[in-house]
Amino acid sequence: MSVLKITGGRSLSGSVRVQGAKNGALPLLAASVLTEGISVFRNCPALSDVQATVQILRHVGCRVYREGDALWVDASGPIRPEVPDALMRSLRSSVIFLSALLSRCGEVSLALPGGCELGPRPVDLHVLALRALGAEVTEAGGRICCRAAGLRGGRIDLPAVSVGATENAILGAVRAEGSTVITGAAREPEIVDLQAYLRSAGALVSGAGSSVIRVRGVEKLRGADHRILSDRIAAATILAAAASAGGSVRLYDADPACLGPVLQVLRNMGCRLENAGNVVTLSRKEPLRAPGSVITRPYPGFPTDAQPPIMAAALRAEGTTVMIETIFENRFSHVPELLRMGADIRTSGKTAVIRGVERLRGAEVSAADLRGGAALVVAALAAEGETRIHGLRYMDRGYEDLALTLRELGAEAERIG
């Protein structure tokens, strides 16, 4: 099994380009099944989650090929509503295929999705959305079975904010008969990007980015050419790494407008930040200050996916940081590993209290999920000596060659084995 070896203590400097967004690419690829044409997704990151989604697309009958950073998906042929359980369980966003396949085929039976272990991840809101569009939905034996002789537009009132359920609601509504209004919708930038693609495929969707989305169903969608937005969580991770190690880095193809709360926390920690167009520059020369309390919230609040890397950046900050995780029950899997590196963290339920320490030391640690792995990398850059990080399969889900990106910024980072 490969290991990421990082020798800490070097400050970072230089420029890197931010990859395309994982959480943008996955729902877009599922959406392509709704079109009866050829779509091109540019700036598509080379990630294992994207590869698993490509396998699903091929299994349901699409032709898919990659040319550089562009992924071509031909969904013009017959589509079959069936995905192997193992593929469904390999990632959480496989659940987005539920409405796309139901809309295209009239019935679908899928195993419940997998993905990172962040606590309970029910699908009740996805089911609520599909039922509101007239589908018969049954759940039994770890599977969801849906049937609809044509989805019908309606009112979908989501009682809680869910990115995935909002995406499933939109994909179910775009080819449904009549109009749909979705209230309580998630407002993430990835949903705005999904709307942009669907509109260029001929869909009538508006309101993405707000909590009310309106859709008027159309009979058919065509293929479309779409550039995937940049990955705000990958950007937040690199910025956290630079804050932790010190130095000055420049991120190209980053979108500061999507990074507001993250940039504010880094400023509160004493980092100097400059934004110009899609370039974000971070410099950190002075000792870090603790940012006070950080509470994760749905967009436009502080993103839960940035909680682990930002927590790791705060480990040596002067003072006390309180992090409150409101989105997932169990998103502190990185804490025991950070304690092995000499961090001072106490957790209780959804709250973690981090007291800044003077130094961290390298250790042998393991990632237990994608962003938890990123936290170990951020801490290792500031630690004395060598850290060896196991569980890279988690990080490969969401980061394109993190070791290379860090080396481009002057870090001593190497993937071995």
List the catalytic residues: 116
**What does the per-residue mask of binding to ligand EPZ show for 396-415, with x meaning CB under 6 A?**
--x-----------------
Is residue 370 close enough to count as binding ligand EPZ by CB under 6 A?
yes
Residue closest to ligand EPZ when measured from CB atoms: 164
Half-sphere exposure in the Cβ direction for 199 (13 Å, CA): 12
Is residue 349 close enough to count as binding ligand EPZ by CB under 6 A?
no
Q: What's CA 185's distance to the chain center, in Å?
A: 17
Give the DSSP H/E element, type plus range, for residue 51: helix 48-60
**What does the per-residue mask of binding to ligand EPZ show for 183-202, with x meaning CB under 6 A?**
---x----------------
Q: Which is nearer to ligand EPZ, 22 or 175 (CB)?
A: 22
Stretch that binds ligand EPZ, among 157-165, 196-204, 207-215, 268-276 (CB under 6 A): 157-165
Query: How many other CB atoms are found less than 10 A from the CB of residue 35?
Result: 26
Rg (the chain; Cα; Å): 21
Q: Which of 19, 39, 162, 180 binds ligand EPZ (CB under 6 A)?
A: 162
Q: Which is nearer to ligand EPZ, 240 or 363 (CB)?
A: 240
Is residue 129 close enough to count as binding ligand EPZ by CB under 6 A?
no
Give CA–CA dist 78/186, Å, rounded.
32
Half-sphere exposure in the Cβ direction for 170 (13 Å, CA): 35
User: Which residues fall within 8 angstroms of residue 174, CB to CB, at 6 or more apart?
Assistant: 34, 103, 198, 203, 204, 205, 215, 217, 218, 221
Is residue 372 close enough to count as binding ligand EPZ by CB under 6 A?
no
Q: What are phi and psi of 59, to 5 degrees?
A: -65, -35
* Cis, peptide link before residue 27, omega less than 30° from 0: no
Nearest distance, CB of residue 93 and ligand EPZ, angstroms: 4
Q: Of residues 71-110, which lie at the interface with ligand EPZ (CB under 6 A)? A: 92-93
Q: Which is nearer to ligand EPZ, 105 or 327 (CB)?
A: 327
Stretch that binds ligand EPZ, among 37-45, 113-121, 133-141, 279-287 (CB under 6 A): 113-121
User: Which residues fall within 8 angstroms of residue 91, CB to CB, at 6 or more apart?
Assistant: 26, 49, 52, 53, 113, 114, 115, 397
Q: Of residues 272-291, which lie at the interface with ligand EPZ (CB under 6 A)? A: none
Q: Of residues 205-244, which lie at the interface with ligand EPZ (CB under 6 A)? A: 233
Cβ-based burial of 38 (10 A; exposed 0-12, middle 13-18, buried ≥19): middle
**What does the per-residue mask of binding to ligand EPZ show for 26-65, with x meaning CB under 6 A?**
x---------------------------------------
Give the DSSP H/E element, type plus range, for residue 214: strand 212-216
Q: What's CA 245's distance to the chain center, in Å?
A: 24
Stretch that binds ligand EPZ, among 22-30, 35-43, 67-75, 97-105 (CB under 6 A): 22-30
Stretch that binds ligand EPZ, among 118-126, 276-284, 332-340, 378-386 (CB under 6 A): 118-126
CA-closest candidate to residue 140, choices 129, 127, 151, 128:
127
Nearest distance, CB of residue 145 and ligand EPZ, angstroms: 16
Q: Which of 164, 246, 309, 373 binds ligand EPZ (CB under 6 A)?
A: 164
Give CA–CA dist 304/233, Å, rounded.
10
Q: Which of 121, 222, 227, 340 binds ligand EPZ (CB under 6 A)?
A: 121
Give CA–CA dist 259/301, Å, rounded.
10
Site for ligand EPZ, rule CB under 6 A: 22-23, 26, 92-93, 116, 120-126, 160, 162-165, 186, 233, 304-305, 327-328, 370-371, 398
